[in-house]
Structure 1
Amino acid sequence: METLTMTRAAHVAPKSPGVRLCGIRRERLEKQIYQMISERVHAERNQPTPKPDYVTTTQRDFCVQGFIPHRPETTETHDYKNDQAITFWSENYQRVQGVTAVRNVKTPFRKSAQFSTPISERLDEIELPPDN
């Protein structure tokens, strides 16, 4: 069988002309420019890693020369066992939908059986609410 096909015969590899196309000086100058550019790109991409800073936030912010820690004085006495917690909902209970009538302003989210107690059995109300 023949090793040369129509495709191989039509597509041959390009051959060099056999003579220099540029001078030696130009060739060396191009190599030098390529070398300089590659060194710059290498220096930009492979920058040395910075030394790690092992200082914590406490050391950086609170152990500074001249820092004097002090506690602010309390304006009111608070009892964490009995006082109601101040939250978004406790401050905006007037705008919350589905909450029964608030009797005590300091504790708006206590249990209330008003919605299920018949009107005739409400003993703590002096007058009945109007029927609308």
Structure 2
Amino acid sequence: MDQESKMETVTTLKAAYIPPKGPGVRLRGIRSELLEKHIAQMISEKIDAERSPPTPKTDFCSTTQRDYCVEGFVPLTPEITQAHDYKTDQAITFWSENYQRIQGVTAVQTPTAPFRKSALFSTPISERLDELQLPSDN
């Protein structure tokens, strides 16, 4: 047995098998082949058109242009009913509107500013100067 011999690349099947040969003449006509190619091309174009629809036209219109620059739009400024000073006026919020219904809030001294700082918890009753009448011990 020769250890350095190379393995054969051809098997008995490959050596015995011969691929079949074509008849050597046309089996279909040229017109038939061209018709088949044309139909296949039409179908593939139709499927491609269904899969990728054309992109819609881009609308480069901003919200301001669409909503406020429309013909017939008249901007209305509300009439001033009373003078307001944003530096001194108390802000109107849900809590300032409904302070009477809130539980756990101390007695409101001025209805215009219900959430101002109150020292009623820490001031002894004898030192309360702003009250004319002392609260009753119920």
TM range (shorter): 0.5 to 0.7
Aligned residue pairs total 103
Structure 2 CA distance for partners of 1:38 and 1:111, relative to 1, 3 Å: same
- The answer for the alignment partner of 1:51 in structure 2 is 57
1:45–1:98 CA distance, 2 compared to 1 (3 A)? farther
Identity score, percent: 66
Partner of 2:22: none
With normalisation by structure 1, the TM-score equals 0.64
Show CA shifts across 1:8-51 (max 9, x none). xxxxxxxxxxxxxxxxxxxxxxxx7xx859945x5444222212
1:113 to 108, 119, 124: 119
**Residue 65 (1) aligns with residue 71 (2):** yes
**Cα RMSD after superposing both structures:** 2.7
List gaps (5 residues or longer) in structure 2. 1-38
Larger displacement relative to structure 2 (104-113 or 48-57): 48-57
Once residues 102 and 131 of structure 2 are traced to their aligned partners in structure 1, the CA distance between those partners, rounded to angstroms, is 24
Secondary structure in 1 aligned to 2:95?
A: helix
Could you tell me which runs of 5 or more consecutive residues in structure 1 were left unpaired when the two chains were aligned: 1-31
Which of the pair has more CA radius of gyration? 2
Q: CA deviation at 1:69?
A: 2.2
**Residue in 1 aligned with 2:104?**
98
Between the aligned partners of 1:61 and 1:54, the Cα distance in structure 2 is 14
